[in-house]
Amino acid sequence: MLYYNSKQLSSSYEFGKQLLEKICRQRSTNQPLIFLCIGSDRATGDSLGPIIGYKLKQRRLSSAYVYGTLENPVHAKNLNEVIREIHDTFERPFIIAIDASLGKASHVGYFTLGDGALKPGAGVGKELPQVGNLYVTGIVNLSGFLENTLLQTTRLHIVMDLADKISTGIFYCLAKL
């Protein structure tokens, strides 16, 4: 797993470059590219995914599909249904799962890029299906105590800063694909 500090000016570029390398190395040419942005707009700390989805949808991407926006979030209650819809719609989709996460105090404001499936809801004790060929997480707050309350009281500034940096990196990556 790779970590990026959202406070560093080069974080979007470094993330976008690594995302491009991973996609080019792991994805077949004809595999549809899907960004699955997970979270809810009802809790500030959990809104990272839908905000990124909103930003990606605004660009009207021609090279990728986006699921999970502020208007139509993908969350615990509909995740199974959306995963099924993706697999019914696309043959062998290459899914990049994006979600907020909780972590150590020193990692709040960082975002990550990793290989394999994301386990959404793990930080708050939810049992949800793993999903994705790659995953991106934004560490929005601390873990370890009253996680659901922490997601409700997370500063919007942290979430927006992470969403800006992650979406900028994705745009860089897609421009080079």
Q: How far apart are CA 99 and CA 30, in angstroms?
A: 26
Q: How far apart are CA 52 and CA 34, in angstroms?
A: 13
**Residue type (1 letter), 51:** I
Q: How far apart are CA 143 and CA 54, in angstroms?
A: 26
Report pLDDT for 150.
73
Band (pLDDT 50/70/90 cuts) for residue 152 is confident
Name the residue range of residue 57's domain: 2-176
Question: For residue range 90-139, what is the model confidence (pLDDT) as tens digits?
Answer: 999 999 999 999 999 999 999 999 999 999 987 667 789 999 999 999 99
The secondary structure of 39-89, three-state, reads: CCCCCHHHCHHHHHHHHHHHCCCCCCEEECCCCCCECCCCHHHHHHHHHHH
Report pLDDT for 151.
76
| Domains of the chain: total | 1
Look at the block and give the residue holding tokens 């997601």.
151
Question: For residue range 33-71, what is the model confidence (pLDDT) as tens digits?
Answer: 999 999 999 999 999 999 999 999 999 998 999 999 999
Structure tokens at 42: 């009802």
Instruction: Tell me the CATH number at 150.
Output: 3.40.50.1450
